Structure 1
Amino acid sequence: MAAPADISPTIVETLYRDALDLADETRAAFDLSGRLDQVSSDEDLARIALSCEALRTTTRMMHAIAWLLNHRAFFAGELSEFQLRRHGRLPPAQSDGDPQQLIMLDPELRQLVDRTKRFYDRIARLDRAWRDHFAMQPAAVHRLRERLGNAVQRL
């Protein structure tokens, strides 16, 4: 059986650079100048929608960056594994925005929001795997494959 995978400094550094790029793109995209779609007849409601989603999206990215910074500090020897496991937990994902508010944003902003969600989900999967020491939890397919292999051996 192969040794379980682990997170490496290279993975963390690559994700960190990606996170900074995505956070910068998010900051620029949510600049209030001209980012409102003309779908809404009430500009105030559209500005509220934009502000809410901007806060939700930038918070999501800052949580991901904080998690990556903690892991960078661990690999640099600035945090022990105990400290990282105790204080470096990724906060739970935020709830999705109100669909009625999201529709007020232009399609490019909605795509950016989705990209930040996918990035955060990726970090969350890494966090869960790291906390479980990358122990494999066999899925149904793996269990079925094992049973089939055992049955073939008995023939």
Structure 2
Amino acid sequence: MNDVLMLDAQADDGAISFARGFVRSDAFMLLFREGMGLVEQTAGYLDGEGRQDSAALPRAVALTYATESMRLTTRLMQIASWLLVQRAVAEGEMTAEQARAENNKVRIGEAMVSAIPEEAMRLPPALRELMAHSLRLQERIRHLESQMSGKVSPAEKLNPVQDQLADLQARLGFRR
């Protein structure tokens, strides 16, 4: 099973109920606006102030700047794609099957290893802030995606508190 939105499974599944409700919620719209706003903010920076910042950097740091700005752009395009697909499903413009096909093309992956900390500290502060914001947003979406698909990430599988809560819920007859 893919790490994608699965709306056409059984309606009583908790992950499905969460997914259906979440993509139609105010919380999703806030996330959507945040993600798309970050895309616009980053584009504005890279096309404007970022060009000036990049030109003023020593050659080695300029290479790091170029690498990190490409990683940032790639990450934001993945985020924007995911957000647009979820909004299309919520608005009835796309079926769950179409969403699965789209999400198979572009996945929200693990964060790419960024520059060595010493190198990253030499990057312009505005770029570092955009990178950090995009990484936080990416992690939130990865978490949401796992919740929506009903899959648990390896980190959650290793969480003893989560295991105890699941055990307690099962004993009390609650569905997770």
* TM-score (normalizing by structure 1): 0.73
CA contact (8 A) 2:23 2:86 kept: no
> Which whole-Å CA distance do the structure 1 matches of 2:149 and 2:18 have between them?
13
Would you say 1:93 and 2:110 are equivalent positions?
Answer: yes
* 1:19-77 Cα shifts (integer Å, max 9, x gaps): 11111222233343332597x6xx22222111111111111111111001111111222
1:49 paired residue among 59, 64, 84 = 64
Greater Cα offset, 8-17 or 29-38: 29-38
1:139 and 2:162 correspond: yes
In the superposition, the TM-score normalised over structure 2's length comes to: 0.66
Q: Distance in 1 between matches of 2:164 and 2:114?
A: 34
What SS does the aligned partner of 1:5 have? helix
**In structure 1, which of residues 10, 20, 25 is the aligned counterpart of residue 36 of structure 2?**
20
Question: Residue 112 of structure 1: CA displacement?
Answer: 2.1
Q: Percent identity?
A: 21
Whose Rg is larger?
Answer: 1
Unmatched 5+ stretches in structure 1: 151-155
* Unaligned 5+ runs, structure 2: 1-13
Cα distance change on mapping 1:133 and 1:49 into 2, 3 Å: closer
Is 1:108–2:131 an aligned residue pair?
no
After superposition, the CA RMSD in angstroms is 3.2
Q: Which range moved further: 63-72 or 4-13?
A: 4-13
